[in-house]
């Protein structure tokens, strides 16, 4: 993977940062994006300190124009583009009967439409190069549902459909498109759980622990590598056996 170029959205922390660092450790030049340049800059600082290479970019994935401009810049400056990791995501939780249209739209626009924007631009470059790796970060709740997260679950389920359809379209160009569905992972989102909630959650996880961001990064890195060349359209669950 040395010399390849990747874009990782939502790279300021958690899974996005772990994936960025894993790819950089494999020799990939990582373009780390976030809604603030400072957040992505922290990820690149960690990558640089570990001997890797990359750059931080502020990106609003809901803006088709911003995404198109960034991909053109990357291709012009780097001369290639090989890997897309669609990780950007937000939550605006609430019960169905109380959910505002604005909360539904915001989550779908970022989590699903944002991934579509990036995939569309990436596929233009990858199709000409006849090579590419795309990994979309879905979620276990996109498979099983979760009360109070109807917008988030819909967006993550949508990513699975996006993955399977794009995989069929792009396979003949040697472009693989896969998804990873993390279970409950030790991140800022799960850090707010009460001890009682955590204990209840662990009862449903056969491995009896929450996953780590590195557990997810290992899976994503494999699907982003040349070693996964005959795997496409798949959903890889990283959930400790919580949902099979």
Q: Per residue in 165-195, pLDDT tens?
A: 999 999 999 999 999 999 999 887 777 778 8
Q: How confident is the model at residue 100, as a pLDDT?
A: 97
- Is the confidence at residue 228, as pLDDT, over 80? yes
Taking only the tens place, the pLDDT of each residue in 111-163 is 999 999 999 999 999 999 999 999 999 999 999 999 999 999 999 999 999 99
CA 123/CA 131 separation, integer angstroms: 9
CA 142/CA 120 separation, integer angstroms: 22
Out of 29, 152, 230, 243, which one is annotated catalytic? 152
Q: Which of 49, 57, 45 is nearest to 9 (CA)?
A: 57
131 part of the active site: no
Q: How confident is the model at residue 222, as a pLDDT?
A: 98
CA 120/CA 83 separation, integer angstroms: 13
Q: How confident is the model at residue 191, as a pLDDT?
A: 75
Residue 21 near residue 85, CB atoms below 8 Å: no
- Is the confidence at residue 11, as pLDDT, over 80? yes
Q: Which residues of 73-96 are buried (b: 16+ CB within 10 A; e: fewer)?
A: ebbeeeeebbbbbbbbbbbbeeee
CA distances to 82, 178, 234 from 148, in Å? 37, 27, 27
What structural domains does the chain harbor?
A: 5-237 (3.40.50.720)
Q: pTM here?
A: 0.95
């Amino acid at each position: 993977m040395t010399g390849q170029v990747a874009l990782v959205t939502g790279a300021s922390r958690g899974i996005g940062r772990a994936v960025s660092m894993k790819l950089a450790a494999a020799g990939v030049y990582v373009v780390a994006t976030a809604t603030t340049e400072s957040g992505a800059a922290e990820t690149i600082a960690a990558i640089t300190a570990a001997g890797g290479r990359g750059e931080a970019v502020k990106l609003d994935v809901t803006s088709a124009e911003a995404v198109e401009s960034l991909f053109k810049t990357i291709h012009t400056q780097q001369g290639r583009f090989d890997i897309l990791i669609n990780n950007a995501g937000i939550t605006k939780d609430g019960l169905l009967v109380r959910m505002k249209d604005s909360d539904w739209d915001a989550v779908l626009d970022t989590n699903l439409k944002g991934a579509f924007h990036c995939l569309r631009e990436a596929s233009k470059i990858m199709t000409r190069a006849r090579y590419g790796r795309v990994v979309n970060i879905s979620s276990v709740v996109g498979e099983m549902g979760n009360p109070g997260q109807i917008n988030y679950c819909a967006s993550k389920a949508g990513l699975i459909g996006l993955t399977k359809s794009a995989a069929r379209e792009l396979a003949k160009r040697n472009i693989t498109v896969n998804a990873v569905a993390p279970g409950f992972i030790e991140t800022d989102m799960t850090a707010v759980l009460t001890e009682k909630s955590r204990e209840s959650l662990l009862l449903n996880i056969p491995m009896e622990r929450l996953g780590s961001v590195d557990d997810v990064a290992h899976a994503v890195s494999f699907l982003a590598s040349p070693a996964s060349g005959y795997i496409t359209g798949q959903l890889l669950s990283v959930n400790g056996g919580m949902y099979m």
